[in-house]
Amino acid sequence: MSRTPPSDRPLELWIGVECTFNRVHDRYLNQLTVCGHDERHDDLDLLAQLGARRIRYPVLWEQVAPDHPDDLHWDWTDQRLATLRARQLEPIATLLHHGSGPQYTDMLDPAFPEKLAAYARKVAERYPWLTAYTPVNEPLTTARFSGLYGVWYPHHTSDESFIRMLLNECRGTVLAMRAIREVQPNAELVQTDDLGKAHATPAMQHEADFQNERRWLAYDLLCGRVDQTHPLWPYLLNSGATPQELQWFRANPCPPDIVGVDYYVTSERFLDERTDRYRGYHQVGPTHADVEAVRVYHNTAGIEQLLREVWARYELPVAITEAHLGSTREEQMRWFEQFWKAAQQVRAEGADIRAVTSWAILGSFDWNTLHTDLKGYYEPGAFDVRSCTPRPTALARVLQARAANTEPEHPVLNAPGFWERADRFFYPPVGDAPATTRPAGTARPLLILGGGRLGRTVQRLCAERGLSARLLRSSDVDLADASAVQHLLTDLRPWAVVNAAGYGGIDEAEVHHEAFWRHTAVGLAVLARACEANGVHLLTFSSDQVFGGDRTSPYQEHDAAHPVNRYGRARREAEWQVLAYHPGTLVVRSSAALFGASGRQDLLGMALRTLRAGGTLFMDDQHRFSPTYLPDLVHTSLDLLIDGERGTWHLTNAGETSWADLTRMLADATGAPADAVQAVPTEQLGWVAPRPRYSAMSSGRGNLMPKLSHALERYLANASD
C-alpha cells in the first residue's frame, strides 16, 4: 500500500460529548444524565461556537431502544441531530459507548453482532444524511474492563471472556457498517480505541511485548490482518476463538476510514516484578506491579510517537479522537496543546493526521473510580456544567483559536505540563533520564501578596501546578503607597496578582482596626487602580464576615452585606473599591474558617491533635458557617483566575455546621469518645470581635467546590500527627 499524503486542509478540531452508558453490577451510569446534557438542548449552541468541524455524539442503543429492539424512542435524538445539522457541526454517531448493550443482550450474547447491526440499520434509515459512525467505542478497552478485569458488566475475568467480547464487538462493527452502507454508501467508519503502550523491566519485557501486540487487536481484526502468521494467533485459539471465525474477518475486512487514537496520561504502563516498590493496588497477582508509566518511567512514548506507530502500521488516515486530562486548568490546556502540536509535527513528516478531538467537552463524572463508586467526582472539560449554564473555561478559548487556525495565547501555556517535569515521579524513576528537560519558558509570574497561611498555600499549590509565582509578605510592600505598588508591577511584570493578605484575622482587625482598614480597604483600592492601568488580572479574597447573620439559609452572591465586625466592614469596603477601579477583578468570598492550612495554625488542626492526645475540646455551637478546605479553595480560585472570571464568587465546601459539630465529626472519625467535644457559650471563648450567628454560603453562579464530607475525608487522609 502506498502512503497517502496528508490533506491540504488544515488540521481539524473535533469535539466529543462524554456519553458512557455502562453498567456496574445492577447499577447504570448515564453520563448524559449526570452532566445534565440530556435536558439542556441549548448546550449545542455553545458547542457550535467553538468552531469545531465534527462532534462525536451519542445515538446510543441503550437510550433509543432500552427495552425491546422494536420499541424505539427517537425524539431526543431527532431534536439533537437536527440542531447539529443546522449548526453545520457534523456528527460522528456513537451507537455503543463502554456499554454492553440494552438489557436484552450483552457482549457475550452470540446474537450480539446481529442485534447491533439491526439497530445500526434503523439509525441509518432514520438519518440517511449521517456519514460518520463509531458503532462500538473502544472495543478492545471495553472488552478488557468487562471481560478481563471484571470492572464493568458482565464482570468476567478470563481471557476467554475477553476474546469472546472483542470478537462480538468487532463482528458487530463489520455487520453494522455493512447495514449502514446499504442505506448510506458513503458512510465512514471512525474506529476508536485507547492506544497506550506497555514498558517494563527486562524481567517483565515478555509481558509488555504481549500487551503491545494485543493493543492492536481490534484494528487488526477489522483490517483483516489476523491469520496464522499473526503473533497472537496461538493466544486467540487458546482463548476460545476458532480458526473459522478469525478467517471470517479476513474474508470480510472493514478497515476504518479513520483510525481513532484515544490517549490518556494513564494509557502508558510500566510493568515491574519488584512489587515492594509500589502501592498494593498496583500489584497484578503475585508476578508484577502495573503502574502509570508517567509516575515511574523516564522513557514514555508520548502521543507523538504513538501517532507515528499507528500510521506506520496501517497507513490509514488517523485522528486523535480523545484528548482529555482530568487536572487543573492550565494542565488541561497544556495537554491539548501538546496533542495539537504533535499532530502537526507528524503531519509534517508525511502522515495523514486529520484531526484532534477535545474530549469530554462538557466534562465527565466519576471516571476516577471507573464508575465503580459514584460520588459525583467531576472533571471539567472546555465547559464546566456545575454553573447555572455550562461555563466556558480557558480551554474553550484554546479550542476556538485552534479551530480558527491561530495560536492560542495565555501566560500559563508557556510552561511544561507535569508529565514533562521531574516532580511527576511518585516512585524511584526508572529508565534513561533525558539529557535536558523542557525549560519553564519565559512565562510572566503570578504575584502573591500576603505571607499568611492562605498566601503560603497559594504559593505551594502554584509550585505543584507548574505556575511561576512570587510571594511577598505584607511587610514587603505598602499597598496604600501608589508609587510602591506601581514600582512592584513594573519590576516583576506579573500577569496576575493574588491578594491573600490579612485573611482570617477577625479579632486582630477589631483591635488594630485603623491599620487593617488602611491595608485592606485603602490598599486594595490602590492595588486595583494599578492593576487596571497595567493590564494585570487581580484575584482578591473576601469573607463570609461581610454578612450580618440575619438568615437561616445560605447567603449567595447577590444577597445584601451587613457586617457586624470591623473585619467584615473592611472586607466589604475593599470589594466595592476593587470592583469600581478594576471591574475585571475576581473577588472570592469564602469562610473565615479555613482548614487544611500550611503549618498547624488552623483551629481544626489543633482540635485534631487534642483529640488524638485524648484531650477534651470546648467549642462554640451557636454560630453556623461553611467550613472550607484550603486546598479546594485555592485550586478552584486559581482555575477561575486562569479562566478570566470576574466579579464575586462564593467558594465554600457545600454544607454548613458549627465548630462543635465539625469537631464532633472529627472525633467520630478518629474514634474519640462522644464526650470529647463539649459545647460552651460564646462568652467563654475569648473572642474580641462579634461574629454573625449565621454565615453559611452557597453560590448562585455555580457550586464548584466538593461537599464538606468529601473535604473532611481528604483532610483526615492527609493529616499527620
61-102 pLDDT per residue, tens: 999 999 999 999 999 999 999 999 999 999 999 999 999 999
Q: Is 90 exposed, middle or buried (0-12, 13-18, 19+ CB in 10 A)?
A: middle
> For residues 254 and 222, is the Cβ–Cβ distance under 8 A?
yes
pLDDT greater at residue 448 or residue 594 = 448
The per-residue pLDDT for 1 is: 39
| Within a domain: 318 | yes
Under a CB-based contact definition with an 8 Å cutoff, are residues 269 and 275 in contact? no
Assess contact for 688 and 628: CB atoms under 8 A: no
CB neighbour burial string for 410-433, b if at least 16 within 10 angstroms, e if fewer: bbbbebbbbbbeeebeebeebeee
Q: How confident is the model at residue 451 (pLDDT cuts 50, 70, 90)?
A: confident
Q: Are residues 412 and 481 in the same domain?
A: no
Q: Are residues 512 and 411 in the same domain?
A: no
Whether 548 shows a pLDDT value over 60: the answer reads yes
Cα–Cα distance list, 231 to 35, 252, 571 (Å): 42, 20, 69
| 546 and 416 both lie in a single domain | no
Residue 69 is predicted with a pLDDT of: 97
Predicted pLDDT at 2? 41
| pLDDT > 70? residue 436 | no
Which stretches of 642-693 are assigned E, i.e. beta strand? 647-650, 677-680
Residue 437 has pLDDT above 70, yes or no: no
pLDDT-derived band of residue 8, with 50, 70 and 90 as boundaries?
confident
The mean per-residue pLDDT over the stretch 500-513 comes to 89
Q: Say if 117 falls within a structural domain.
A: yes
Looking at residue 521, its pLDDT comes to 92
**173 in the same domain as 61:** yes
Looking at the structure, tell me whether residues 480 and 367 fall in a common domain: no
The answer to whether position 226 is within a domain reads no
In a domain, 444, yes or no: no
Residue 303 located in a structural domain: no
- Give the pairing of strands 90-94 and 197-200: unpaired
Mean pLDDT calculated for residue range 511-528: 93
The whole-number pLDDT of residue 597 equals: 65
Q: What is the pLDDT of residues 243-297, one digit of tens each?
A: 999 999 999 999 999 999 999 999 999 999 999 999 998 999 889 999 999 999 9
pLDDT of residue 505: 87
CA-based max dimension of the chain? 88
Alpha helices (H) in 94-232, listed in sequence order: 112-126, 139-143, 159-183, 205-214, 217-222
Q: What is the pLDDT of residue 592?
A: 87
* Residue range 352-379: mean pLDDT, rounded: 95
Q: Percentage of residues in the chain with pLDDT exceeding 70? A: 97
Cβ(310)–Cβ(262) under 8 Å?
no
Predicted confidence at residue 474, as pLDDT, reads: 85
Residue 184 confidence (pLDDT): 98
Contact 295, 301 (CB under 8 A): no
Q: Which of the listed residues 407, 424, 441 is the one where a domain comes to its end?
A: 424
Query: Same domain, yes or no, for 511 and 383?
Result: no
Q: Is residue 99 in a domain?
A: yes
424, 439, 468: which is the final residue of a domain?
424
For range 547-562, the mean pLDDT: 95
Better-predicted residue by pLDDT, 12 or 387:
12
What average pLDDT does range 676-688 have in this prediction? 87
Confidence of residue 600 (pLDDT cuts 50, 70, 90): low
Instruction: With cut-offs at 50, 70 and 90, classify the pLDDT of residue 345.
Output: very high
pLDDT at 433 over 90: no
Kindly state whether residue 685 falls inside one of the protein's structural domains.
yes
> 358: closest CA among 378, 338, 388, 386?
338
- Whether the pLDDT of residue 719 is over 90: the answer is no
Confirm if 272 and 201 have CB atoms less than 8 A apart. yes
Q: CA 233, CA 205: separation in Å to the nearest integer?
A: 20
Q: Examine the domain organization and report whether 603 and 713 are in the same domain.
A: yes
Instruction: Answer yes or no: is pLDDT of 122 > 90.
Output: yes
Residue spans of alpha helices (H) in 352-499: 394-403, 453-465, 482-492
pLDDT of residue 3: 47
Distance CA 294, CA 555 (A): 43
- What's the CATH code of the domain at 93? 3.20.20.80
Tell me: do 487 and 636 sit in the same domain. yes
Query: For residue 204, what is its C-alpha cell?
Result: 517483565
CA dist., res. 714 & res. 630, Å (int) = 11
Please state, rounded to an integer, the average pLDDT across all residues of the chain: 94
Q: In 215-328, where does DSSP find H-type helix?
A: 217-222, 233-238, 243-251, 302-314
pLDDT at 721: 44
Give the residue numbers spanning the domain of 396: 12-192+261-267+310-424
Amino acid present at 480 = A
For 241, the 3-state DSSP assignment is coil
Cβ(627)–Cβ(593) below 8 Å: yes
- Same domain, yes or no, for 525 and 601? yes
Residue 438: pLDDT band (50, 70, 90) is low
d(CA 644, CA 49): 18
Asked, for residue 337, whether it belongs to a domain, the answer is: yes
Asked if residue 172 has pLDDT above 90, the reply is yes
Checking if the pLDDT of 5 tops 70, the result is no
Domain shared by 396 and 502, yes or no: no
Model pLDDT, residue 254: 98
How far is Cα 112 from Cα 125, in angstroms, rounded to an integer? 20
Q: In degrees rounded to 5, what are phi and psi of residue 160?
A: -65, -45
Please tell me whether residues 376 and 505 are part of one structural domain. no
pLDDT at position 6: 56
pLDDT at 154 over 60: yes
Pick from 492, 422, 434: nearest CA to 463: 422
Inter-axis angle of helices 659-670 and 708-718, nearest 10 = 50
Residue 440 is predicted with a pLDDT of 52
pLDDT band at 503 (very low <50, low <70, confident <90, very high): confident
C-beta separation of 626 from 544 below 8 A = yes
144 and 68 belong to one structural domain: yes
CATH of the domain at 590: 3.40.50.720
Number of domains forming the structure of the chain: 2
